[in-house]
Amino acid sequence: MRLNTMKPGPGSKRKRLRVGRGASAGQGKTCGKGGKGQKARKGGYHKVGFEGGQVPLQRRLPKVGFRSAIRKTRAEVTLTDLEKVKAELIDLAALLAASVVPAATERAKVILSGEIKRKVTLQGPAVIATKGARAAIEKAGGRIEEGKAA
């Protein structure tokens, strides 16, 4: 077998049906679009969710909740998650390297959940801690350096 002799398997490729070319071509007159109406005409399709003029479902249902635009760039980190980070100096890069926060994260907040037993240093403006988390980190012998770039 050579590359220049290769062909698709028999019956795997069908010729494109040319509609509107007469009765003998198989799709003459209405070209498979049925009779008259919006869908038979050129450009005759309406927008997604259109219900013939009736108020569409997405407008009949009430709006619920709030979706924050900055949610993808913020992350919460628990004290238990900090235990997973091998480095003693923890900044946003260290959290990303340890896969504790998603890749799109720009800011992380350490919250009081779980416990921390080792000494860690939180550094950089992108990583902040709540009052409870700050107390737990300092109790374990760690510290928080705010405002310093990583």
Share of the chain above pLDDT 90, in %: 69
**Helix ranges (DSSP H) in 5-121:** 57-60, 79-84, 92-97
d(CA 70, CA 68): 5
DSSP 135: H
**Residue where the block lists tokens 């350490």:** 110
Residue 52, classified by CB atoms within 10 Å of its CB into exposed (0-12), middle (13-18) or buried (19+), is exposed
The pTM assigned to this predicted structure is 0.57
Q: Which helix (H) or strand (E) holds 121?
A: strand 121-123
Is 25 a residue whose pLDDT tops 90? no
- Nearest C-alpha neighbor of 123 from the set 97, 105, 140, 142: 142
Domains and CATH numbers, the chain: 71-145 (3.100.10.10)
Residues in the chain: 150
Q: Degrees (nearest 5) of the Cα angle 76, 98, 143?
A: 65
Q: Tell me: the pLDDT tens digits for 28-87?
A: 899 888 999 888 888 878 889 999 899 999 999 999 999 999 999 999 999 999 988 988
